[in-house]
Amino acid sequence: MSALPLLMDALGAGSVRVVDLTQTLTEDFPTIVLPPEFAQSATVRIERLSRYDAAGPAWYWNNLSFGEHTGTHFDAPAHWFTGRDRPLGTVDTMPAADMIAPACVIDCTEGTAVDDDYLLTREAVETWEMEHGPVPARSWVLMRTGWSRRQGAAYANLREDGAHTPGPDAEVMEWLVHDRGILGFGTETIGTDAGQGSHFSPPFPAHHFLHGAGRYGLQCLTALDQLPPTGAVLVTAPLKVHEGSGSPLRVLALVPGAAAG
Ligand code: MN
């Protein structure tokens, strides 16, 4: 028997629920800021064409423009130089089957409550594994930090020496990618890497190891506190942009509901 009728029954009965992990795309949602010598991403623009008015009496529509890496968004392997030669490394060519995968959620909120530069370590993931079992191959690892509740300047948290936001250290990223074989890594912050990740070895280790191995990134996630540590399934389908390095997307999680017990 196909599993799909069972899934539809479970969604109808509430024993599987859909949780939206996406931030609303707005013109004032913070966009990553690079050092001034580099090209900068455009911010989001939503330009009204008509709304049941003289410009279009019966219809409402907008023009949208944004950088590929704005809002809740997906990073494809081609985003980073280490993934530049990966086959199927852009959003239009990546396998559709990679857009549905289970998630492990690591609660880092105790650490991030006292340290903006909190780093997820291999030791912390191994402690998590003692309770929840090994991180499965081809799964997402999501770093729950509570960062999505921050607003305005506190979200990017820029100081004179750059951004101060939590992320993974280099050792844990190499280990998750090459030992655990994860499909991707997701964060509530603007990047998959820590704000100070340019000083790590290698620089920006999440980008370096994930994309070099053909794996993916998710950023600006929200509502991770509504996910169980294991058992959720993510649906992550980026826009099919020709040779795109990433895109804003809707991230949905299927989670066991109360009726599942
Ligand atoms: Mn990105």
Give the number of other Cβ atoms within 10 Å of residue 103's Cβ: 28
Displacement of CA 83 from its chain's centroid (Å): 18
Q: What percent of the chain has pLDDT over 70?
A: 99
Displacement of CA 109 from its chain's centroid (Å): 17
Q: pLDDT by residue (tens digit) across 117-138?
A: 999 999 999 999 999 999 999 9
Mean pLDDT, rounded, of the chain = 96
Q: How far is the CA of 7 from the centre of ligand 1 (A)?
A: 32
Displacement of CA 137 from its chain's centroid (Å): 18
Residues in Cβ contact with 216 at an 8 Å cutoff, skipping those fewer than 6 apart: 74, 75, 76, 77, 94, 98, 183, 184, 210, 236
Q: pLDDT by residue (tens digit) across 30-45?
A: 999 888 899 999 999 9
Position 229 in a domain: yes
Q: How far is the CA of 144 from the centre of ligand 1 (A)?
A: 17
Position 59 in a domain: no
pLDDT value of residue 40: 95
Domain count within the chain: 1
Q: pLDDT by residue (tens digit) across 212-260?
A: 999 999 999 999 999 999 999 999 999 999 999 999 999 999 999 875 4
3-class SS shares of the chain: helix, strand, coil, % to 5: 25, 30, 45
Question: Domain with 31 in it: what CATH number?
Answer: 3.50.30.50
Distance CA(47)–CA(63), nearest Å, equals: 5
Q: How far is the CA of 219 from the centre of ligand 1 (A)?
A: 6
In the residue annotation, 199 being an active-site residue is answered as: no
* Residues spanned by the domain of 125: 4-40+67-256
Indicate which residue of 73, 79, 207, 208 is catalytic. 79
Position 9 in a domain: yes
Q: How far is the CA of 186 from the centre of ligand 1 (A)?
A: 10
Q: pLDDT by residue (tens digit) across 153-199?
A: 999 999 999 999 999 999 999 999 999 999 999 999 999 999 999 99
221-252: b (≥16 Cβ within 10 Å) or e: bbbbeebebbebbbebbbeeeeebbbbbbebb
Position 57 in a domain: no
Position 196 in a domain: yes
Q: Which residue has the tokens 């389908």?
A: 237
Q: What is the mean pLDDT of residues 132-148?
A: 98
